[in-house]
Amino acid sequence: MTGIDLTRYGVKILDLVPGMRRVASTNGGEYAGPCPFCGGKDRFRVQPISNRWFCRQCGDGKWHDAIDFIMRRDGCTFSEATKKLNIPMQVKFVAEAKKAVQRQKPPDQDWQAMAREVTERCRSLLFTKAGEPGLDYLLSRGISSPTMERYHLGYSPCIWVGKVKIPQGIIIPAIVGETYWYIKIRSLPNSEGPRYLCVPGSKTNAVFGADEINGKPYAMISEGEFNAMTLHQEIGHLISTCSLGSAVNKLDMLTWGRFFLSQKVVMCLFDNDPAGEKGFENMNEMLGDRARRLSLPGNGDMNDFHVAGGDIETWFNAIWKEFNGSKE
């Protein structure tokens, strides 16, 4: 909080959050409603007389002001928020107010340059003779060529980019806007070692396909990248899809919450295991009642269902009828 009375500049929290209902009348009153960032029913509180807000779920146990609200809502800096609110920059705020809310940061620029080179080189190899093992594997998983292109998939026969070794496998980059957050490497069948590796320096606590769901009224979130790609390939014309990469990833609200502000419903497709249970618990904590867990259509995941010949569009259309409405 700035410690400054922002109402002198015409900035009132209640104007930023319409639809709040009055729940107390003493000491200037208090208003309650769903949190714009994490949902719920009445966890978001506003006290007009002090012009501050609080969320029992995502408010970090502290009261916040309008500048904090705009920074969280728009994912912007302190200076950008003051401009949006038409607060004069000559106002001298206390030192605490000048500190931008700390958000999760992507890997640095050197890593970004390396990641781009890895992706470009491996994409160029995928449809060549050298890339046949990778291409054959992706086709066996039911991934089409347009989907490979859309998600910048590639193949590494085991290459070096600078001092970084990229083992043999399928290259799966997580790109949001033009920023790389991580690169996973899916080992080929019968390879020694773990099925998945990450290029050193990756930030895996990210949303794969975040741009797909941004601003959409409905979204479907799955547990892994192959599931998200399969869902987009088969029903992307019906609903936007993304992935947490791993069900146990707990997203940083300040970084990723803005991608989930617009959804009326977020359908969660996680495995039927403890990790899947934890994943849905995390999403429910973040989104409240907007998070809905769906049952998987088979014994495996969505990609398994697709490879086995399952009709994902027919499955989804049956699911959609339960929501009583058509997409906007």
Give the CATH number of the domain where residue 16 resides: 3.90.580.10
- The residue among 154, 182, 204 that closes a domain is 204
What is the count of structural domains for the chain? 3
Q: Which residue has the tokens 């919450």?
A: 257
Portion of the chain with pLDDT greater than 70, in percent: 92
Domain boundary among 174, 204, 234: 204
Strands (E), 86-237: 154-156, 159-161, 164-166, 169-176, 179-186, 196-198, 218-222
Give yes or no for a contact between 170 and 143, defined as CB atoms under 8 angstroms apart: no
Contact yes or no for 307/142 (Cβ under 8 A): yes
Q: Confirm whether 298 is domain-assigned.
A: yes
When pLDDT is averaged across residues 314-324 and rounded to a whole number, the result is 85
More confident residue, 328 or 241: 241
Enter the pTM of the model. 0.69
Residue-wise pLDDT for 121-142, tens only, equals 999 999 999 999 999 999 999 9
Composition of the chain by helix, strand, coil, percent to 5: 40, 20, 40
Which residue range(s) make up the domain with 287? 206-328
| pLDDT of the residue at 190 | 87
Q: Is residue 1 part of a domain?
A: no
Q: Is residue 24 part of a domain?
A: yes
3-state SS assignment for residue 116: helix
**What local confidence, expressed as pLDDT, does residue 325 receive?**
52
User: Is residue 101 predicted with pLDDT exceeding 50?
Assistant: no
Domain harbouring 198, CATH code = 3.90.980.10
Tell which of 171, 204, 237 closes a domain.
Answer: 204
Write out the two tokens for 29: 């009153």
The tens digit of pLDDT for each residue in 162-207 reads 999 999 999 999 999 999 999 999 999 988 888 999 999 999 989 9
